Amino acid sequence: MDPKEQATKVKEWIDSHWRGRGRCPRCGEGNWTVKYVVSLPLTAVPADWTRTDHPVFPVAPVVCGKCGYVIFLDAIAIGVQRAAEG
């Protein structure tokens, strides 16, 4: 899935799950921006890790357009990215 398609899916998920426009907890505005999904590297490999790639936690950063506050959504939990397999 390309970044633009991911961003569209994140916005669709927010529209269907957040109440209202979802006000920013820092500044009170509701002008959120989504651009891409990123992967945060885990600092330790879980004992049950079976994949061959480096363990990562994929998240969708949602940025407040007024103050820059960032919320991370779990990209797998919201269905934007599938959990990789072996």
User: Looking at beta carbons only, is 42 or 67 nearer to Zn ion?
Assistant: 67
- Which of these segments, 9-17, 36-44, 48-56, 60-68, binds Zn ion (CB under 5 A)? 60-68
Question: How many other C-beta atoms lie within 10 A of the C-beta of residue 81?
Answer: 18
Q: Is 1 a residue that touches Zn ion (CB under 5 A)? A: no
User: Looking at beta carbons only, is 63 or 78 nearer to Zn ion?
Assistant: 63
60 strand-pairing partners: 73
Integer Cα distance of 10 and 6 in angstroms? 6
- Which of these segments, 6-14, 41-49, 68-76, 77-85, binds Zn ion (CB under 5 A)? 68-76
Whose CA is closest to 59, among 36, 42, 32, 30?
36
| DSSP three-state, residue 46 | coil
Contact residues for Zn ion (CB under 5 A)?
Answer: 24, 26-27, 64, 66-67, 69
